[in-house]
Amino acid sequence: MQTELFPFELPTMVRRVPHFGAIRTQIWSEQKAKLIARYLKLFVFITHHGTYIDGFAGPQYADREDAWTAKLVLESEPRWLRSFFLCDKGQPQIAALNKLVTAQPVVKKRLIQVLAGDFNTCVTQVLSSGHVEEGIATFCLLDQHTFECEWKTVEALAKGKKEDKVELMYFVPTGWIGRAMAAQKDTSVIERWWGRSDWLSLRGMQKHERAAAFCERFKKDLGYAYAHAWPIFDRERGVGRIMYHLIHASDHPEAPYLMARAYRTATKALPPEKQLEMELAELQRELRTTG
């Protein structure tokens, strides 16, 4: 018997395209982890279950554990996420992940697996593990270093479940991808990343156009119902300088609204469960009003 994905009712808004107002919050690059952790906390508070996949899970800042997504997600409470697959290929990253996992308390029926290797290869092991199940919300973070995540990997994740797809949170360095392309001597690396031979078109685009091109591919080529781009800013370069876009792709009609709420409040402290319940009740009212 499959587990119901949403154990209490949210308004159903199938295929209605969400539209959000002007972005007034600025999420800095070192705050990406808080954004992801807050979104997952909101979502899992509804589902009471879930599988989390992190393709490039090692810490990005040696001295900033509060900017380490895998740590924030693992330690988020209530501990309702059931399965974790944390992948990276660098030895220091794997050592840090193993240390992180060892420090976690024992939670009944919870699986945490660290995979050492290239995620473009390890993704097959994850999808065939038996823990990417129908009826269980599955989230995959792809916070890659420039061209690390090949498009075939994204396609494999999109096809990993027959019904609701694996939800993707895919970071694209839209602010400097043109320079990175120009510096990359082996252009086959870029072609594997983009998955097509027309990658040169991205070099002439503005940041928002690059983000829109990815959103279009996630919807048109991969079949996601919803794909939205959320800007991540560079604190050192000043206000308004976008460094990345988070491409959030999902089949769940509620997911874009949960991400919008997470984005607006990511820089605040995570609320206790009672406050979170109040936030979700407020979100329900908003959805009924806009539905």
Domain boundaries defined on the chain = 29-290
pLDDT of residue 9: 45
Beta strands 242-250 and 226-233, pairing class: antiparallel
Phi, psi (rounded to 5 degrees) for 217: -65, -40
pLDDT tens-digit profile of 164-193? 899 999 999 999 999 999 999 999 999 999
pLDDT of residue 17: 54
pLDDT of residue 278: 67
Average pLDDT, integer, range 208-223: 96
pLDDT of residue 149: 98
Describe the chain by its helix, strand, coil percentages, rounded to 5: 40, 15, 45
Phi, psi (rounded to 5 degrees) for 168: -110, 140
Average pLDDT, integer, range 201-226: 95
Among 181, 176, 159, smallest CA distance to 168 is for: 159
Question: CA of 23: how far to CAs of 52, 231, 233, 264, in Å?
Answer: 27, 9, 12, 8
CATH of 29-290 given 3.40.50.10800, 3.40.50.150, 3.40.50.970, 1.25.40.10:
3.40.50.150
**Which one is predicted more confidently, 266 or 169?**
169
Give me the count of residues in the chain.
291
- Read off the pTM: 0.86
Instruction: Judge whether residue 285 has pLDDT over 80.
Output: no
**Can you tell me the distance from the alpha carbon of 48 to that of 43, in angstroms, rounded to the nearest whole number?**
8
Q: Which of the four pLDDT bands, split at 50, 70 and 90, describes residue 277?
A: low
Among 116, 46, 54, 117, smallest CA distance to 83 is for: 54
**Which one is predicted more confidently, 74 or 4?**
74
pLDDT tens-digit profile of 49-89? 999 999 999 998 777 778 899 999 999 988 999 999 999 99
Q: Which of the four pLDDT bands, split at 50, 70 and 90, describes residue 226?
A: very high
Residues of the chain with pLDDT > 70, as a percent, come to: 80
